[in-house]
Structure 1
């Protein structure tokens, strides 16, 4: 099966077997670059979802007892297979998610790094031991949670897989994973890879469909943890449900990231970072730069440089290596992005660069495209400065100074990422000390941390347990500490009376 060329009827993968859902409603998959229908996704019913949960629950009884060495050996094999299939996996992402092929390659390679980091789970799950005294000792060991539910967004089908599945199974859990109905093809290929490496049945299960699948996953008492990446409203809902049901939740939600440009900026370096941050992946990532804040001394120069650089970017088919900006995910989302452009104009912003109706090859005329767009003279109270647009639309605003910039940036309901562009050590340290985000950058437009550091924001960008993705935080989420208090009685000794034992205890 060629996931980049064939019409794909997406299947579920449960207990090591592929299942075609012929008797349920189907959702159409479109290639965002062309608008062409390329496949169908089943709206999996509750009974089938429960079947996947039951398979994961049964597999867990054996998998959790498997040696950590054996579990991690599968991750090594997974890493090797992904290295072998980098180009194929990237091409799949470039078709149904329509991420530009270079960005898609970067995403797959980053996931390989995440899997490599997860291979350190034997070290990351080491326990603790303490001698209490009086012949007593205490120990802490990490144990898996049980069955995990993973719910993925459309924009990073590989990256979210990397955050959830390797850490979940490496620490002894099993998982039922829901791929996005808009970009499900990557996970179809990954389940084939799990078959290739001989992962035991039921350890990783895949179910497909709309939001009802996620609701069914959360409703099951056998699911002990839920992982989600997506919008803030949905993230809040998932967090509330998990809180009521006593489930652990990792919920990474919305963002509105700002890049602050100070008067001593190295302009060439900033422009390169700005283009990648604001227009890479067509702006459809939680770490995308959405607001550029510049101080008065350099505002006009920044505006001119931004426009000139963005005008040179090629817009078109995500599989074309010469293209920089591909399409957004759907016609519905394109309409939403265009509405924000109109809203910005109504609010009083100027259209410094109009990316609407870009010039496209004939085969892409029905695709979902908007080119780089700049709204200038934006003010902090405008909705385009406050709300997540999730497209290649940038709001340029003027700030008085560093203190004013921090006040504006910290007033956001979101706290995912933010960056400053400066060579000044005082500016840098003050920014890092006072910016209210989970991931900060200095002269870095996308301050996403490397795989062995935690990924996640603050405020309305994170819910649930507050534990972030990848690295030690990944291990923290997928395990629970079991504490034991231990005492051994000597073979020949005075037997303490109940009264003497009671006097040693605080309870």
Structure 2
């Protein structure tokens, strides 16, 4: 059986003894093994990145950008192949995989603007014959630790920006679906990136801890659950590293009485059940203002769920694929069981979902709960599956209080025709990303992605302008060239103009 290795200093490396199965979620079968990096393997990757840094740091930003231009072309040329790898190991449908890849390519496009993004700030004559300027210098070796749900897009949130800023990079992708990440690493080399500038190690906690504690690593980016994000943040910062760690979410959608309910229901279907709910920006709670709205939304969602096509991601017409592993399937089913025990009304039960010819696949149909309350675990916890909860409130203020009181603050949205209500909601809600009649308000590449509260540990968001700040250090230089004909005495006062 094929074993997926690591990518270190421009070569595939596969000499680790520990391995882990990689499943096809649609069939339940083990299709590959993935090597789990030992400490020695990770240190080999760090050494390669450290050795490559001096030359890459001195490479002009325009030349770095030229690599990214070629890389973008290669990603587009190999798009179907990459998306097939995503679908085979994650389970999401091909159209969704293509959407993931395209959003990742947007960040590559943004990184192509390196000469503009890295321009410093210059001031002439800040004092007599004194000039001053600021410039952005790379950190050195930086790492990215990424989740299973976006095996291509989330790594692309990180390494294109890190690399164009002059750093060298080590990616630790999810060991659940590693093949797509390895393929895009190979394409990066094909685009002309020097060996050692980008490296990839597959692994588990041993690999992560090695990266976080090695003094040669200057910064770490992470996306995943809040429990792990908090660990990454505290471990990395304690080791003196710059860290951004994006954690979990429980994203609420508020539906107002004046909303276009047909459009809202259609939008909520995609936002809740797309990618089988395995998105950090998935809508998992609908807050309906008034019972009339709630009855209409629940009825509309139930009707559409009855026709939702659940099947293998590669099968034409499939709208929702399987969950990523059997273990995750058991976890999500357990939450559905718990929701019933806690007294929520299960309007649509997806636990009996069967897909012909794929009895061993990790399939769960869309589930819909009504009359959910904040005390229930299905409301509090990030389930990360196709489970949507409906909460009923009387007014917008109650809806906002509900959202503000939740520990997560990643994304939220409001469906309304009232501009005043939308503006008030956007201005005052304590959430990092807000949509108005848009359920998945994921920022475009030239803005930055990140939540509030326990959805983000660190000061800077992912990609966009914040990425330049995260992956560089500002240095300010002040210089003076005094006239040879003028002799000045010593001054002991603090310098002023």
TM-score by length of 1: 0.96
Q: Tell me, in whole angstroms, the C-alpha distance in 1 between the residues paired with 2:185 and 2:136.
A: 28
The equivalent of 2:378 in structure 1 is 384
Shift, 1:61, TM fit: 1.1
The equivalent of 1:313 in structure 2 is 308
Verify the 8 A CA contact 1:174 1:202 in the aligned structure 2.
yes
Q: Tell me, in whole angstroms, the C-alpha distance in 2 between the residues paired with 1:83 and 1:212.
A: 34
Shift, 1:367, TM fit: 0.9
Shift, 1:82, TM fit: 0.5
CA-based RMSD of the aligned residues comes to: 1.1
User: What whole-Å deviation, never above 9, does each CA across 1:33-60 have from its counterpart, x for those lacking one?
Assistant: 1101111111211011101101100100
Shift, 1:491, TM fit: 2.4
Q: Tell me, in whole angstroms, the C-alpha distance in 2 between the residues paired with 1:470 and 1:185.
A: 23
Shift, 1:188, TM fit: 1.7
Shift, 1:504, TM fit: 4.6
The equivalent of 1:81 in structure 2 is 74
Verify the 8 A CA contact 2:89 2:177 in the aligned structure 1.
yes
Shift, 1:492, TM fit: 1.3
Alignment of 1:210-359 (within 5 A): 210-296=204-290, 297-359=292-354
Aligned residue-pair number: 494
Give 3-state SS (helix, strand or coil) of 1:76's partner.
helix
Q: Tell me, in whole angstroms, the C-alpha distance in 1 between the residues paired with 2:244 and 2:119.
A: 22
User: What whole-Å deviation, never above 9, does each CA across 1:93-136 have from its counterpart, x for those lacking one?
Assistant: 00011111110011111111111111112111111122322222
Alignment of 1:410-429 (within 5 A): 410-429=404-423
User: What whole-Å deviation, never above 9, does each CA across 1:454-484 have from its counterpart, x for those lacking one?
Assistant: 11100000003x2111111111111110111
Shift, 1:359, TM fit: 2.5
Match for residue 463 of structure 2 among 467, 470, 484: 470
Verify the 8 A CA contact 1:357 1:369 in the aligned structure 2.
no
Verify the 8 A CA contact 1:137 1:487 in the aligned structure 2.
yes
Verify the 8 A CA contact 1:155 1:284 in the aligned structure 2.
yes
Q: Tell me, in whole angstroms, the C-alpha distance in 2 between the residues paired with 1:323 and 1:207.
A: 33
Q: Tell me, in whole angstroms, the C-alpha distance in 2 between the residues paired with 1:447 and 1:292.
A: 15
Q: Tell me, in whole angstroms, the C-alpha distance in 2 between the residues paired with 1:189 and 1:504.
A: 57
Match for residue 372 of structure 1 among 366, 379, 383: 366
Give 3-state SS (helix, strand or coil) of 1:361's partner.
coil
Whether 2:427 is the aligned partner of 1:433: answer yes
Q: Which runs of 5 or more structure 1 residues have no equivalent in the other structure? A: 1-6
Verify the 8 A CA contact 1:102 1:321 in the aligned structure 2.
no
Q: Tell me, in whole angstroms, the C-alpha distance in 1 between the residues paired with 2:183 and 2:171.
A: 14
Shift, 1:278, TM fit: 0.1
User: What whole-Å deviation, never above 9, does each CA across 1:442-461 have from its counterpart, x for those lacking one?
Assistant: 11111111111111100000
TM-score by length of 2: 0.98
The equivalent of 2:19 in structure 1 is 26
Whether 2:162 is the aligned partner of 1:168: answer yes
Give 3-state SS (helix, strand or coil) of 2:142's partner.
strand
Shift, 1:233, TM fit: 0.6
Q: Which runs of 5 or more structure 2 residues have no equivalent in the other structure? A: none
Give 3-state SS (helix, strand or coil) of 1:140's partner.
strand
Whether 2:493 is the aligned partner of 1:498: answer no
Give 3-state SS (helix, strand or coil) of 1:157's partner.
coil
Verify the 8 A CA contact 1:262 1:421 in the aligned structure 2.
yes
Give 3-state SS (helix, strand or coil) of 1:255's partner.
coil
